[in-house]
Amino acid sequence: MGTKKENLDQLITHIIQGIEEVKGDDIQIIDLRELENTVCDYFIVCSGNSNTQVNAIESSVRKAVSKALHDKPWHVEGLENSQWVLMDYVNVVVHVFQKQIREYYDIESLWGDAKITSVQSNY
């Protein structure tokens, strides 16, 4: 077993691979470690164009993490309508939004004090 940081880095890497595998858009990593009273260490936020793509992203992330790390989300919410799916990996929470829902909730600005890193995808 590696350190917590190595495990987190691997988890984040495989989550992002899962998102990119099905062309999830506008991927942001929100580092919450410096903030007080946060529920996890990181949020990973991305967008899909439709409920079908949001479902595909959730499925792809689940498979990528399961295959590489033999880990599965502790909890998943939002699959009924697939406008905003939340995947809770305890230290990392993944938010998969349809674009208009993401714009409406704008969770990046809610965590304005956090360090936000944009992931540049090659497509």
State the pLDDT confidence band at 112, using cuts at 50, 70 and 90.
confident
What domains does the chain contain, in order, with CATH numbers? 4-111 (3.30.460.10)
- For 33-82, the pLDDT digits (tens) are 999 888 899 999 999 999 999 999 999 999 999 999 999 999 999 999 99
Amino acid at 61: V
Kindly state the tokens that stand for 16: 């992002």
pLDDT band of residue 103 (cuts 50, 70, 90) is very high
User: What pLDDT is recorded for position 101?
Assistant: 96
Assign 113 a pLDDT band (cuts: 50, 70, 90). confident
Q: Which of 62, 123, 51, 53 is nearest to 94 (CA)?
A: 62
Residue 68 and residue 10 in contact, taking contact as beta carbons nearer than 8 Å:
yes
pTM (2 d.p.): 0.94
E strands, the chain, are 25-31, 42-48, 75-77, 84-88, 92-98, 115-119
